[in-house]
């Protein structure tokens, strides 16, 4: 394997007792040149890939020591990948306030918590019994007349006679 003379041979960043200075020397595994294996996956200004291996076992390496800078150990590659792939922290979502509450007695919907007007013994605001049917019939006749007048303005429709009620 070719290595620049001005650079020291790489050592494992995790200290061990194997090396003369406490750091084991990396073992060369492969050297691949961009000219031998051309493709779009090569980063710009990179012409060689060198794969080095640490012969020491690092099963209990603290994850903070696994980052090797430009040369990555499997633990550093895994840590980097996990950090990049982490989903964003979800924001706390407030539960939506209910639009209506339920009556405490009959469970009908009410605008505010409590009991509804009929359960409280108050009038519900309905029209008086005697005038209710007349008011309803007059309202229906006016609505029917308005709909028929609108329909007669449309092409292809004839106005039908309105029965007085």
pLDDT grade for 23, boundaries at 50, 70 and 90: confident
Residue 71: closest CA among 3, 6, 21, 16: 3
What DSSP character marks residue 44?
Answer: T
C-alpha–C-alpha distance, residues 24 and 31, integer Å: 20
Give the pTM: 0.34
Residue 73 confidence class, pLDDT cut points 50, 70, 90: low
Helix (H, G, I), strand (E, B) or coil at 53: strand
What digits encode the pLDDT tens for the residues 79-128?
Answer: 666 677 777 788 888 887 777 888 888 888 888 888 888 888 886 555 55
Domain ranges (residues) in the chain = 9-55
pLDDT value at residue 61: 59
Residues 36-47: tens digit of each pLDDT: 988 887 888 788
How confident is the model at residue 80, as a pLDDT?
A: 67
Cα–chain center distance at 82 = 18
CA distance 86 to 93: 20
């Amino acid at each position: 394997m070719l290595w620049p003379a001005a650079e020291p041979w790489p050592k494992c960043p995790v200290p061990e007792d194997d090396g003369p200075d406490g750091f084991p020397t990396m073992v060369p595994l492969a050297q691949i040149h961009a000219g031998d294996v051309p493709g779009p996956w090569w980063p710009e200004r990179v012409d060689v890939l060198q794969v080095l291996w640490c012969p020491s076992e690092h099963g209990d390496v603290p994850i903070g020591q696994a980052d090797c800078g430009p040369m990555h150990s499997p633990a550093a590659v895994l840590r980097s990948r996990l950090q990049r792939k982490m989903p964003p922290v979800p924001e706390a979502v407030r539960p939506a306030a209910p639009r209506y509450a339920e009556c405490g007695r009959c469970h009908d919907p009410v605008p505010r918590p409590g009991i509804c007007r009929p359960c409280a013994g108050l009038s519900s605001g309905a029209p008086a019994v005697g005038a209710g049917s007349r008011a309803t019939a007059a309202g229906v006749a006016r609505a029917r007349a308005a709909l028929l007048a609108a329909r007669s303005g449309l092409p292809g429709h004839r106005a039908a006679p309105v029965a007085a009620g």
